[in-house]
Amino acid sequence: NAGVTQTPKFQVLKTGQSMTLQCAQDMNHNSMYWYRQDPGMGLRLIYYSASEGTTDKGEVPNGYNVSRLNKREFSLRLESAAPSQTSVYFCASTRGTGTGRRGYTFGSGTRLTVV
């Protein structure tokens, strides 16, 4: 089915380990986003890419890096994981270069635990 695919769905890391969360969309969308969801905090934007070749920081970028590999793929990297990065991570995309009138399409999330 068309949409946003995130891998992996679950991951446990030890403090200090690194990993990359993958996100791919097959809707030919221009903009892609990474959010984290924590209890009582809603969704907070980590990084986004308004178009291929551009990336910008969101509200909570510290400890993360991103790569817009091509129009389809937008990865999130944790270089040295910390327990504070335990969260559920969502990738989203939209056709335009901003919010647009369509809103975002979300992936099903990656549940990350750092011990």
Partner 1 sequence: AQSVTQPDIHITVSEGASLELRCNYSYGATPYLFWYVQSPGQGLQLLLKYFSGDTLVQGIKGFEAEFKRSQSSFNLRKPSVHWSDAAEYFCAVGDSGNTPLVFGKGTRLSVIA
Contact set with partner 1 (CB under 8 A): 4, 33, 35, 40-45, 48, 50, 58, 90, 92, 97-109
Report in angstroms how near the CB of residue 50 gets to partner 1 at its nearest: 5
Closest CA to 106 of 20, 13, 19, 31: 31
Closer CB to partner 1, 17 or 44, in the complex: 44
Q: How many CA atoms lie within 13 A of 16 on its CB side?
A: 0
Reading the block at residue 100, the tokens are 């647009």
Write the CB contacts of 115 (distance below 8 Å, at least 6 apart in sequence): 12, 13, 14, 15, 83
Report in angstroms how near the CB of residue 64 gets to partner 1 at its nearest: 15
Report in angstroms how near the CB of residue 10 gets to partner 1 at its nearest: 11
Closer CB to partner 1, 53 or 103, in the complex: 103
Q: How many helices, marked H, and strands, marked E, lie in the chain?
A: 0, 11
Report in angstroms how near the CB of residue 28 gets to partner 1 at its nearest: 18
- The CA distance from 62 to 47, in Å, is 10
Closer CB to partner 1, 17 or 52, in the complex: 52
Closer CB to partner 1, 15 or 108, in the complex: 108
